[in-house]
């Protein structure tokens, strides 16, 4: 189960109400962390450990881990980043560490001793913030994180590396770079972004004694996309025909961008669409038609009446290699105000939408947007780096505000829906980081839409299969050699 920071607090409260005290959960958390460190490093005797502990309950977990490691034979020093802990349970663990004679250093008064300690340290325990962090690290805690990151040591973060927002995936500039993240009880949303957030290193979930009954009533709003989504692809009936299995209208291609129309069209056809109409400029028709022989064609012009085309459509895709300008924006606006079926907007469709985002308000159809980080930044009027530092937050906010399904493409593609639900994909590899991969994905999602899948399911299914096919293709051809259309052969094997 994936839970938010607020939901985790409720789970802990539920456990406390079930006669498992907070203090017991803290003891279990720190003990499990120490035990994982022991299992990982094998030999602890004599290792020098620096445990950075904040003022809250995560600091209390760190104090327990420090005590346990001390009892296992480590040379432990606790570094209090914010003074003596402020919560009663963490204070109790502070007192136990003090009674054992574990050195307790303060950031504000023992600076030189801490610097000397970090020159020789073997293991660092990061227990500064845990899952309660959000925003940016201040100057003090940024300096602490930098000190940890510069150490030649194995870094173990408790629950989540300090400087990362567990709900949004927001990464502070100087966030701790962990080698191992020990998660307590349940994964949090940011843990699903392991490809986007290398700070977390290897992720392991530790049981801290919370019973399953404490999780009852907790609604899972964040999930992973698994292969079970493929079961939702409609089965073709024995008496079906080409238009009953999906009539997709694909507005794609322009001078210099004919390949985008070909790749998106092939992605749609190879994913089961029964009838694909490619709408493109006349001057690129010979190029596209020579490669996309299964498609029929219509030709786009500046004053095109889209109503005859969209009347019998079961899905529309718009944007792959479409080009940008007043004519393209007018075309997109007409599609959105006319279509009754789902519309997927990608690439240049998104670039044109950025110039008139209000056209989403006047739409008559469900909409899926599939931006990469740069296109998302244009939609949100920010920088691509901002999107990459807070991917879940930006995706969720935009989907909710605009009432669309948002597919934020990347190493861990995020699918956000208007009701606030988030799904994170884990399939895929760097071999997809090539021009044209997004066009194939557009065709796949649009194909599933045209076959009658619900928009959210179609988005998840396309994202999952696109990545899964790429993973198989990587094994067959290698990341460097594989090209976007190569994965369609692997898609066939998966669908079979």
Q: Kindly state the tokens that stand for 379.
A: 């939609």
First to last CA, the chain: 30
Region of 235 (left: φ > 0; alpha: ψ -120 to 50; beta: rest) is: beta
Arithmetic mean of pLDDT, 216-222? 95
Neighbouring-strand partners of residue 154: 123
Give the pLDDT of residue 362.
87
CB atoms within 10 A of CB 101: 8
| 299-304 average pLDDT score | 81
**pLDDT band at residue 44 using 50, 70 and 90 as cut-offs:** very high
Q: At 129, which helix (H) or strand (E)? A: none
* DSSP assigned state of 418: T
pLDDT tens-digit series, residues 172-193:
989 999 999 999 999 999 999 9
Would you say residue 93 has pLDDT above 70? yes
Taking 70 as the threshold, does the pLDDT of residue 302 lie above it? Answer: no
C-alpha span between 298 and 315 (Å, rounded) = 16
User: What DSSP letter does each residue of 32-99 carry, written as one string?
Assistant: HHHHHHHHHHS--TT-EEEEEE-SSHHHHHHHHHHHHHHHTT-EEEEEESSSS-SSHHHHHHHHHHHH
Domains and CATH numbers, the chain: 5-219 (3.40.50.10260), 227-495 (3.40.1190.20)
Percent of the chain with pLDDT over 70: 100
pLDDT at 304: 83
pLDDT at 303: 74
For residue 10, what are its two tokens?
């409720």
> Can you give the pTM of this predicted structure?
0.94
The rounded percent of the chain whose pLDDT value lies above 90 is 97
CA dist 232 and 454 (Å) reads 9
| pLDDT of 126 | 98
Rounded Cα distance, 303 and 317, in Å: 19
Residues pairing with 155 in the sheet: 124
* Lookup result for tokens 């969720």: 396
Give the pLDDT band of residue 301 (cuts 50, 70, 90): confident
Q: Kindly state the average pLDDT of the residues 296-325.
A: 92
Q: How far apart are CA 186 and CA 206, in angstroms?
A: 8
Contact 417, 456 (CB under 8 A): yes
**With the CA atoms of 245, 247, 251 and 255 taken in that order, what torsion angle do they form, in degrees rounded to the nearest 10?**
70
In the prediction, which pLDDT does 151 show?
Answer: 97
- Average pLDDT score, the chain: 96
143, pLDDT greater than 80: yes
104-106 sheet: strands from edge to edge: 104-106, 75-80, 48-53, 123-127, 154-158, 180-184, 202-206
Environment class of residue 219 by beta-carbon count within 10 Å: exposed (0-12), middle (13-18) or buried (19+)?
A: exposed
Per-residue confidence (pLDDT) for residue 487, from 0 to 100: 98
Q: What is the DSSP letter of 236?
A: P
- Give residue-wise pLDDT tens across range 449-464: 999 999 999 999 999 9
């Amino acid at each position: 189960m994936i839970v938010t920071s607020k939901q985790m607090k409720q789970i802990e409260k539920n456990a406390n109400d079930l006669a498992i005290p907070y203090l017991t959960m803290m003891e279990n958390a720190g003990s499990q962390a120490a035990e994982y460190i022991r299992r990982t490093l094998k030999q602890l005797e004599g290792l020098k450990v620096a445990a950075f502990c904040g003022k809250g309950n995560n600091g209390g977990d760190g104090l327990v881990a420090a005590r346990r490691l001390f009892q296992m034979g480590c040379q432990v020093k606790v570094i209090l980043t914010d003074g003596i802990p402020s919560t009663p349970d963490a204070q109790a663990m502070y007192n136990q560490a003090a009674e054992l004679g574990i050195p307790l250093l303060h950031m504000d008064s023992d600076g030189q001793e801490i610097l000397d300690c970090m020159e020789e340290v073997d293991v660092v325990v990061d227990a500064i913030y845990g899952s309660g962090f959000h925003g940016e690290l201040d100057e003090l805690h940024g300096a602490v994180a930098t000190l940890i990151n510069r150490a030649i040591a194995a870094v173990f973060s408790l629950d989540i590396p300090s400087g990362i927002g567990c709900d949004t995936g927001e990464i502070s500039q100087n966030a701790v770079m962990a080698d191992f993240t020990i998660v307590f009880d349940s994964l949090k949303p940011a843990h699903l972004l392991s490809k986007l957030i290398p700070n977390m290193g290897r992720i392991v979930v530790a049981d801290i004694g919370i019973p399953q009954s404490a999780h009852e009533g907790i609604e899972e709003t964040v999930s992973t996309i698994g292969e079970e989504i493929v079961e939702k692809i409609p089965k073709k009936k024995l008496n079906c025909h080409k238009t009953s299995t999906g009539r997709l209208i694909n507005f794609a291609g322009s001078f210099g961008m004919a390949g985008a129309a070909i790749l998106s069209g092939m992605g749609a056809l190879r994913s089961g669409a029964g009838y694909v109409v490619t709408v493109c400029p006349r001057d690129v028709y010979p190029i596209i038609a020579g490669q996309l022989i299964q498609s029929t064609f219509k030709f786009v012009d500046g004053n095109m009446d889209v109503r005859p085309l969209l009347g019998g459509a079961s899905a529309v895709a718009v944007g792959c290699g479409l080009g940008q300008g007043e004519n393209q924006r007018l075309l997109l606006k007409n599609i959105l105000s006319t279509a009754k079926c789902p519309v997927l907007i990608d690439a240049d469709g998104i670039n044109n939408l950025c110039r008139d985002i209000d056209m989403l308000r006047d739409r008559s159809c469900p909409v899926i947007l599939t931006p990469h980080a740069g296109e998302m930044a244009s939609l949100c009027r920010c920088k691509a780096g901002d999107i990459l530092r807070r991917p879940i937050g930006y995706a969720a906010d935009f989907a909710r505000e605009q009432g669309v399904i948002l597919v934020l493409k990347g190493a861990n593609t995020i699918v956000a829906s208007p009701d606030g639900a988030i799904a994170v994909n884990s399939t895929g590899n760097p071999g997809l980081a090539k021009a044209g991969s997004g066009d194939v994905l557009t065709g796949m999602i649009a194909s599933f839409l045209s076959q009658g899948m619900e928009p959210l399911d179609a988005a998840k299914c396309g994202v999952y299969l696109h990545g899964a096919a790429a993973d198989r293709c990587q094994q067959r051809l290698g990341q460097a050699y594989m090209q976007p259309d190569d994965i369609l052969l692997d898609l066939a094997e998966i669908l079979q």
